[in-house]
Amino acid sequence: MGGDDKLLQMVKDYAPVLRFHPDEGSHCCYPSDAEETFAKFDGKWDTFTKDVSQKELNQHAPCYFEIWKDSDLTQIRYWFWYKYNHFPKAILGIGEHLGDWEHIEVRILSEDERIWLLSNHLTARLAGDPSYLTLPEFKSEPPLLDGNQIHAWVALGSHAHYPSPKSDPYCYKRIFCDQIAPGGRRWDSSANLIDLSETNFFAYTGRWGDSRAPRGPTNEYNNRWRNAPNLRPKEK
């Protein structure tokens, strides 16, 4: 097997499994096809308005990925596109915006040392294997794994990620909190992996909607070290 084939197999082996809240379909939306959205609204984002579809989970929805390979580190980031972000029970539109790019990143130092950074609002949650691995300013949680695939619980509407349904949720001003729960739909993101560099939106670095909408995966804001600096994990 060639080097590229080995990397692509690694991308598939580490593709995360997302665990949605039982009410996601009735509240907001599941992952969608970003290329379809881009083809429709590129150059006319002012016509992209509130859209809370996809109401049914498509097991073959696209999962976009990017990969970096160094001598001592392999880093893979998986991207998911939602058409809307709707924070539950918030008032006055708090936490609502067009479009929602979320991601999960794995940093592989060796077969025995891996950390995952799960996007969570403007920061990330960290899971380490071994469970004592962490990075500065992060609290490490143990990952739930199927082989090398991490399970990540997706918060209702906001789509923030958590290593466990028992993780402490993010709260806005201690009032409105993310809702995570077992028992919802499960999505294995390895079913439809697409190289980010081969998409129709790879060169686009603007916002996916109005001024409150997220910047795309290739915007400098989402650079390689966005989630955490280039440091080796340490024991907590």
Q: Domain ranges for the chain, please list them.
A: 3-235
Indicate if the pLDDT at residue 236 is higher than 90: no
Indicate if the pLDDT at residue 2 is higher than 90: no
Q: What percent of the chain has pLDDT over 90?
A: 91
Give the long-range contacts of residues 211-215, CB within 8 A, separation 24 or more: 212/97, 212/98, 213/45, 213/48, 213/97, 213/98, 213/99, 214/97, 214/99, 214/100, 214/101, 215/101
Stretch among 11-15, 51-55, 161-165, 174-178 having the lowest mean pLDDT: 174-178
CA angle 164, 167, 169 (to 5 degrees): 125
- pLDDT digits 0-9 by tens, 16-29: 999 999 999 999 99
* Residue of 150, 173, 174, 172 lying closest to 163 (CA atoms): 150
- Please check whether residue 144 is in contact with residue 164, taking contact to mean a CB–CB distance below 8 angstroms: yes
- Please indicate whether residue 175 or residue 84 has the higher confidence score (pLDDT): 84
Evaluate if pTM is beyond 0.95: yes
* Residue of 49, 106, 76, 43 lying closest to 193 (CA atoms): 76
Instruction: Report d(CA 77, CA 118) in Å as an integer.
Output: 10
On average, the pLDDT of the chain sits at 95
Kindly report whether the peptide bond that precedes residue 130 is cis, defined as omega within 30 degrees of 0.
yes
